[in-house]
Each structure stands twice: as structure tokens, then as C-alpha cells.
Amino acid sequence: MKTLRFTSLIVCALLVLPAAAQDVLIQGGTVLTVTNGTLTGTDVLIRDGRIARIGTGLEAPEGVDVVDASGKYVMPGIIDAHSHIALTSVNEGTSPVTAEVRMEDVVDPYDLGIYRALAGGVTAAHLMHGSANVIGGQNETIKLRWGITDPDGVRFEGAPRTIKFALGENPTRVHGLRGASGGGRPAIRPASRMGVEAVLRETFEAGKRYMEAQDAYEAERRRNPRAVPPVYNQRLETMAEILRGEILVHCHSYRADEILMLMRVLKDYGVDKITFQHANEAFKVAPELAEFGAYASVFSDWWSYKFEVYYSTAYNAAILTRNGVTTSVNSDSGNLIRHLYHEAAKAQRYGGLSDDEALALITINPAIQLGIEERVGSIEVGKDGDIAVFDAHPLSIYATPLMTFVDGVRYFDRAMDVDDMRLEVNVTTDPSDERTEAERHTHGHSHSPHN
């Protein structure tokens, strides 16, 4: 891939129109549906950004672009369940609980990491708050629509809201030990794993009382129009939404004991949706995770990079899968995100997973964990046209991503990898825009306000 050149700061909006849903016919490829087996010599027709037909010998309707995928492999767009690309901030570390902050407020659509991820076949990413807090901020799921300048334009419309929790040394180091740094600030709870559980229970209890007060007010309001509502609290409002099942919990965790602890806490408060992120020791408690219905999003072979992550195994993903735990492999890295197909291949190499099981780790399984499996994660009629095309089987060490489509729009094409792919995105022209094609593309090379 050529190196992108940044010659100046953005001083006005880029003259790139938002990419509308597109039509394309991908012909003759080996289609890895993930959920319905492998189809050889098969066509995939995308209309208005959705998969309209899958079959052989499909004819392209008038005006529909055709991509020859003969001898190539077509798979669902890869989904990263744990990413921090395209964010201008990650941690709000001022309190053990910051449930009120939202990553959607700091999404940076200019981040070059979006394009790099597209170059690895990634089409969606779960942008997470950091792990400085026991209960951190609300995450944001995006589609990698490179070239859209409005942060709202990359949002995954309709994706359920999620929130970041964190266990272990990260929150205890940030809060419990901060007074020992010589900065003059007093240490605050949590300073231990016991303190982490106490913060969780206290905050859930406060959220429960807040929710009960809201419910009591709604009941009273039916009888008395002058009933006084409880004082609004943004943090507790978020906790109430978690208790109601409106926000999904994703929790930074490593050790088996803390994984069991959080499941006990969630069970006590009636919360049944949880994805454990990292979960290096999850293989030790795989049956318990399966019984609870918890999910796990793990590294393929990262561990021993700090004390609490000293122990793990490259068989983690396979053991969890064999025990019926919906498992994904994530990157947590702006670089590794474009190699997630290699990470899935590692899980297959170590654990003997089938092709579909290994590919599910980076497609349908993260989609399930994010609550977007009805839209993405497999190649099925009616799903979004999020597709990656490879020159070899994606689980081969020799495979290279050739094209990446989001909503049917070709956002990455290795054969057209110019200095600024935003100039080449085949978008639907706004009929009200009277500029010529050349005039729309006069903004020069790629720009970024952060480089």
C-alpha cells in the first residue's frame, strides 16, 4: 500500500459526498457465507446496499457495476469487537464510575486507521472507552465509511448501545494507587479487587433505586398529573438503562476469579448480557460462561505483557468455542486490526477449528456480541452489503485482501490504492449538486486535522 501523504490541515469540509448505498454484482467467486457453508463459482448481487441475491449465472441489472471474483474468495466484512481507532479520546479517568460519557462524542472520521482497517477487510468496529474505570463510558459501533466527514455518518445505525466495564489492575492502579504517585491526590476506591466488586455493587444499587423511583413516578403520574419526577442524574440514568437491558455490557477482564465475580454481581441484579473482553483465563471457566450465556472476545495469542495476564493459552478461543461460548477474536490495536484474518487463522492452527468456526470469530460472532447479527456477519440475502474479497482463502498465510465493500460501496481496492482513496470512492452523486466531477475532487491529497 502506498503511503498516504498529508500536506495540510483541514480548514473546511472535504468535498466528498457521503457515500450512499450502492449496487454491485460480485461474480464467480468462492463465497464463504460463514453460516451456510461455502459456495463455489457463486455470484452476490447487492442492491441499495443490501444483499439482494446469491446464486450462479446472475445477470447484472442495467447500471450495476460488475466485479469479476473468479478465482477469488468472498467473505463477510470483518468486525472488530474491541477497537480504539477513530477516537480523539479514550479514557475519562477522573472517577471510578463515568457511565455518563460517550465515545460517540469523540469519533474522528478523518483517522487514517479507518482506511488501514479497510485494507484488512474490516467493515465495522466497536470503538470502546478505555479501562481506567470500574464502570467507564458508553462505546460506539461504526461502519468504516472512509471519506465521510461527519462523525454521525460513520455510526452503525440501529446498533445497540454498549458500555465498558473494567476489572483488575487497571482501575485499581488508576484510582487506588494514584495518591502514591507523589501528586498530592488522595487515593480513592478501588485499591483492590475487593474494592472493584464493592464499587460495582454500590453503583448497581444506586441505579436500581433510581430506576425504582422513576417507575414509582410513572405510576403516580397516571393518578396525579402534578406528581414530581425524581431528580435527573445522567450517570444513574445509564445504570438504569443497563438494568433494563437497553445497554449491553462489555467488560475488560483477565483472571478467572474476576470473571466469576462479575457474573455473580450481574445475576444478582438481573443483567444477563455480558461480553468479557480479553478474558485471558476464560478457558478455565468456559462451562460457567456457557451456563450464564456470557460471550468472550479474546486475543489469539497475547499474554504475559503484565502480571495479571501472566497465564493464558493459545487454545483459549478453541476451548471456549468447544464449550458453546460465542467467542470472537479482537485486535485492541490500530495495527493488528488489519490482520484479524491472520488472528482467526492462529486460532484454527492451535485449536483445530473448522474454517467456518475460525471465520466466525471475526464475523458472525462479534456481530452477535454487538447485537448487529441481523445486519452483518454473514453473507445472506437481506443483510448489509459489507463484503471483503481476497486473492486466496482468508485463513491462508498467503491471503491478501483485494477489495472491501461497505453497504455495497467499494471503499478499498488494492488495484486502485491511490494516495487518497476518498477521491476514488464510487458514490451516488447528489442530483442537486451542479458541480462537475472534477470540481468535486479538487481538494488535493488526503488531509487530517491530527497530522
Give residue-wise pLDDT tens across range 45-81.
Answer: 999 999 999 999 999 999 999 999 999 999 999 999 9
Distance CA 29, CA 71 (A): 6
pLDDT of residue 9: 29
Distance CA 448, CA 147 (A): 11
The Cα-based distances of 297 to 99, 253, 300, 408 in angstroms read 21, 10, 10, 27
pLDDT of residue 176: 85
pLDDT of residue 14: 33
Of residues 3 and 305, more confidently modeled: 305
Distance CA 178, CA 180 (A): 5
* Mean pLDDT, range 288-315, rounded to an integer: 94
- Rounded to 5 degrees, what angle do the CA atoms 298, 304, 305 make? 90
User: In 285-436, where does DSSP find H-type helix?
Assistant: 286-292, 316-322, 340-351, 355-360, 364-370
pLDDT of residue 304: 87
pLDDT of residue 7: 33
pLDDT of residue 307: 86
Of residues 174 and 451, more confidently modeled: 174
Phi and psi at residue 78, to the nearest 5°: -75, 145
Distance CA 27, CA 403 (A): 13
pLDDT of residue 250: 99
In this model, does residue 178 exceed pLDDT 80? no
pLDDT band at residue 21 under the 50/70/90 scheme: confident
Residue listed under C-alpha cell 487514517: 112
> Around Cβ 391, how many Cβ atoms within 10 Å?
15
Phi and psi at residue 65, to the nearest 5°: -65, 150
* Mean pLDDT, range 409-413, rounded to an integer: 97
pLDDT of residue 441: 36
Q: Where are the beta strands (DSSP E) in 371-427?
A: 387-390, 401-406, 409-413
Burial of 346-378, coded b for 16+ CB within 10 Å and e otherwise, reads bbbbbbebebbbbbbbbbbbbbbbbbbbebbbb
* Mean pLDDT, range 252-261, rounded to an integer: 98
In this model, does residue 258 exceed pLDDT 90? yes
Residues 6+ apart with CB under 8 A from 243: 204, 207, 208, 211, 269, 270, 271
Give the predicted TM-score (pTM) of the model: 0.88
In this model, does residue 209 exceed pLDDT 50? yes
